[in-house]
Chain A
Amino acid sequence: MTTPLLRVRNLHAKIEDTPILKGLDLDVNVGEVHAIMGPNGSGKSTLGAVLAGREEYEVTDGEVLYKGADLLDMEPEERAQAGLFLAFQYPVEIPGVNNAYLLKAAVNARRAHDGLGELDAFEFLKSVKANMAFMEMDESFLSRGVNEGFSGGEKKRNEILQMLMLEPTLAVLDETDSGLDIDALKVVARGVNRLRDESRAVVMVTHYQRLLNYIEPDYVHVLSKGRIVKSGDKTLALTLEERGYDWLREEAVS
C-alpha cells in the first residue's frame, strides 16, 4: 500500500467566523484525476484555497498530508516549490510584473527546490514558446504584465500555461472552466490532458459537468455543506447532470 500523494482527513476550515469545510476526507494518488463537484456554497473553492495556503482561511481541525508531509505547515511558496499548483478561478492582474519574468522566476524557484540550476535563457524561451503555441497564445503575452488587460479566457489559458511550465506533481484547478467558451475550454482541457501521466495527479473543482467531457476523471466526488457526500466514477457526473444535487442531500440525510 503506497502513501497517497494527497491525503485529506477530517478537514475543517472557516473564514472569519463562518465554518465552510466540516470534516472533508479525500485521497488522491499519482496518476489519478479527481473531479470535485457540488452546488454553490458547498466549499469547493475553499478546498482549493486551503490547499494553496490562503491565509484568510483558518484550518480548525483535521490534517492534510502532501507527499507524506504536513501541507498545512508549509508556506504557499514552499507548496509551489514542492510541486503543488493551484490554477485560480479569478487570476489576479499584476501590472508591471512581466509574464516572462514570473514564468522564469517560478520555474527557477521550483528547480532550485529540486537542486537543479537555473534554466538558461535559451532553453526557457524555447520551452515557453512551445507551450504558448500549444495553448494557442500569442507570444506578445510574454512581454505584458501578468494577466494585465487579459480577457477571462486569456487569463485561464495563462494559468494553464504556467502549469505546463511548472510541471506540477499535483495540480488543483479551481473552476478553471467557468466563463470559458467552448473553444477556450477545449484548449484548456488539452493543456490539462497533456500533463496527465503516471507521476502526477489533478484535482478539478468544477460546477459543470461540461468540463468532464474533455477531461475524463477517474473519480467524481460530490461536496455538500463542507463534506464529500458521495464518490463514484465518471458516471456520477452524468447522474448529477440529469438529477441535480437534491437527491444527494436527501440520501445523505436518510
Chain B
Amino acid sequence: MNAALASAHAKLRRSDPALPDQLAARQADAFDRFSERGYPTLKHEGWRYTNLRPFRDAELLPVAAGHAAPDQDAEDLADLVLTLDPAAPAVTTPLPNGVRALTLRDALDSKDPILSQFGAIAPLLGDALVDLNDAFALDALIIDVTDDAAVSTTIAIDWRLSKAANELASPRLFVHMGQHAELSLVERRIGRGAFTNAVTELSLSAGSRLSYVDLNAERRPSRTLARVSARIARDARLAAYSLTLGGQLNRIGTYVELAEPGAEVVLSGTFLAGEGEHVDHHTAINHTAAHTHSVEDYRGIIGRAGRGVFNGKVIVARDSQKITSQQSNDNLLLDEGARIDTKPELEIFADDVACSHGATIGRLDDQALFYLRSRGLDERTANRVLMEAFGKKPLEHIPERFVPALENRMRLGLKRLSEDHA
C-alpha cells in the first residue's frame, strides 16, 4: 500500500475537525477496502491497456474538489452553473423549482432520506477506485429532482481541480431523478487537475428522463479517472454524452444497469488523444430486465503518438428477453504512430435478443479531402472539417441545446490536435 496515501488518510480526521462522524466512518471503511484491494493493475479485467502506475508511484495528497465560480465559458452549455462556497460548503445558487441540491455533509446533518440511496450504485461492477473516492471525497454534491418535475433549466456542475503536481481530487456527485422527472445536466472537470478520481452516480426512477453530458476538457498533464454509474428503473431513459479532449491518462468508466422493463440508455461520446495522451473509455451495460434497450455510439480521433482504448461490454441476463442493444465504435487515426484498441464484449445469456456491434478504424478519406481542396479549402482546413464531421456524429443522441457549445469545444480540441502535426 502506498505509504503517502495511508499517512494522508490518517491525517484526514485531524485536519478537518468538522468532519461528521458518519462521513469519517465511511472514509475509514472505504480506505480499508481500498487498502485490501489496491489499484487495479494490467492483470485486472478491464485494465489491460491502462496502467495506473502514475497514481501508484505518486505521493498523492488528497485535496477537496472545489467548485468553480461561474465563468463565461459555461454560458453556452448551461443556463445555470451550480456553485458551492468552498469555505463553508453549502449550495448557494438559487435553483429551479423541483430541484434540490445539497452537500453530503448537509444531508448527514439533517438525516436527509436521500442518504438511503447515496453510494448504492457505484459499487455495482465497481473496482477499488470507488473505494478510493469514498476514502478521500471530503464532501459530495447531491442533486435531487422531485417526482414529476420537468426542469427546463440546464444545470452545469463544474469541478475545479487542483494544479499542484501531486494533489488528488475526488469529486463525488449523486443525482436522483424522481419518478417522471426530467433534467439536462452537464458535469465538467475544469483546470489542469494533477490527479482526479471522480465518481458520479445517477439514479433514475420510473419514467424519468436524464440527459447527462460529461466534459473532460483537459489535456496533458492531467490524469483523470472518472466513473459514471447509473441505475435505470422502469420506462426511464438516460442519454449520456462524453467529450474528452485528451489527457496524459484519462479513463472514463461508464456502467449502467437497466434494472426494470422499458429502461433505456444511450451512451455516446467523442474522444481525442494527441501526442503523449491516453484516453480509455470502458463501458458496461447490464440488461438485468426484459424489454430494455441500449445504444452505444463512440468515436475516437487519435493523433500522433496518441493512444485510445474502447471497450464496450454488454451483459444480458438469462431471463432478460426482448432486449435490443446496438454498439458502434468508429475511430480515426491521423498518423502512423496513433493507436487504438477497440473491443466489443457481449455476454448474452438470453435467446430472444437483438444485439449488434461494430468497430471501425480508418484514416481520413483522400477522395473527400481532395474534393474539399478542389473547392478552395486549404489542406489544413479540409482536414479539420473532415475530422469535425467525423467527431460530431455522436452528438445526434443528445438534446440540440448542447450541440453548438460542444461542437465549439471539439473544434478547439481538434485544432490543438492538428497543431501537433504541424
A interface vs B, CB < 8 Å? 52-55, 75-77, 79-81, 86, 88, 91-92, 94-97, 101-102, 105-106, 109-110, 113, 145-146, 162, 166
Contacts and interface: CB of A to CB of B under 8 A. Distances in A.
A54 B370 contact: yes
Given A94-B389, A95-B389, A97-B386, A77 B379 contact: yes
Interface string B373-392: 11111110110011011101
B374 A80 contact: yes
B111 interface: no
B376 A81 contact: yes
Given A53-B374, A80-B374, A102-B372, A75 B379 contact: yes
B371 A94 contact: yes
Nearest to B390: A96
B371 A88 contact: yes
A162 B365 CA distance: 21
Nearest to B381: A105
30 contacts: A53-B373, A53-B374, A75-B379, A76-B370, A76-B373, A77-B379, A80-B373, A81-B376, A88-B371, A88-B374, A92-B371, A94-B365, A94-B368, A94-B389, A95-B393, A97-B368, A97-B372, A97-B385, A97-B389, A102-B372, A102-B375, A105-B375, A105-B376, A105-B381, A106-B375, A106-B376, A109-B375, A109-B376, A145-B389, A166-B375
A63 B317 CA distance: 69
Contact of A110 (B367, B376, B388, B390): B376
A50 to B, nearest CB: 12
Interface in B347-383: 365, 367-368, 370-379, 381-382
B51 to A, nearest CB: 34
Interface in B384-412: 385-386, 388-390, 392-393
B384 to A, nearest CB: 11
Contact of A86 (B372, B374, B393): B374
A94 B381 CA distance: 15
When A and B form their complex, which 3 residue pairs have the shortest distance between CB atoms, in order from nearest? A96-B389, A109-B376, A80-B376
* Max chain B Cβ within 10 angstroms of own Cβ: one of A54, A77, A80, A92: A77
A66 B303 CA distance: 37
Contact of A109 (B365, B378, B388, B390): B378
Contacts of B365: 92, 94
B330 to A, nearest CB: 12
B386 A77 contact: no
A77 B378 contact: yes
Given A96-B390, A113-B376, 19 more contacts: A53-B373, A55-B370, A75-B378, A77-B377, A77-B378, A80-B373, A86-B374, A91-B371, A92-B365, A92-B371, A94-B365, A94-B389, A96-B392, A97-B389, A101-B385, A106-B376, A110-B376, A146-B371, A166-B375
Interface residues of B, number: 22
Given A54-B370, A91-B371, A96-B393, A106 B386 contact: no
B368 A106 contact: no
Nearest to A82: B376
Contacts of B368: 92, 94, 97
Interface in B175-197: none
Nearest to A106: B375
A188 to B, nearest CB: 18
Nearest to A49: B370
* Max chain A Cβ within 10 angstroms of own Cβ: one of B376, B378, B379, B385: B376
A162 B373 CA distance: 13
Contacts of A105: 375-377, 381, 385
A77 to B, nearest CB: 5
Contacts of B392: 96
B376 A52 contact: no
Contacts of B375: 80, 102, 105-106, 109, 162, 166
Given A77-B376, A105-B381, A96 B371 contact: no
A110 B374 CA distance: 11
A110 B378 CA distance: 11
B59 to A, nearest CB: 46
B367 A109 contact: no
A83 to B, nearest CB: 10
Contacts of B376: 77, 80-81, 105-106, 109-110, 113, 166
A106 B377 contact: yes
Contacts of B386: 94, 97
A97 B368 CA distance: 10
Contacts of A97: 368, 372, 385-386, 389
Nearest to B368: A94
Contacts of A81: 376
A126 B382 CA distance: 25
A81 B392 CA distance: 28
A75 B373 contact: yes
Contacts of B388: 96
A79 B378 CA distance: 11
Nearest to A109: B376
Nearest to A165: B375
A147 to B, nearest CB: 9
A88 to B, nearest CB: 7
A145 B392 CA distance: 13
A131 to B, nearest CB: 15
A7 B389 CA distance: 38
A78 to B, nearest CB: 9
A52 B372 CA distance: 12
B264 to A, nearest CB: 25
A135 to B, nearest CB: 17
A76 B377 CA distance: 9
A118 B255 CA distance: 47
Nearest to A53: B374
B170 to A, nearest CB: 38
A158 to B, nearest CB: 11
A80 B382 CA distance: 13
Nearest to B389: A96
Contacts of A54: 370
A106 B379 CA distance: 13
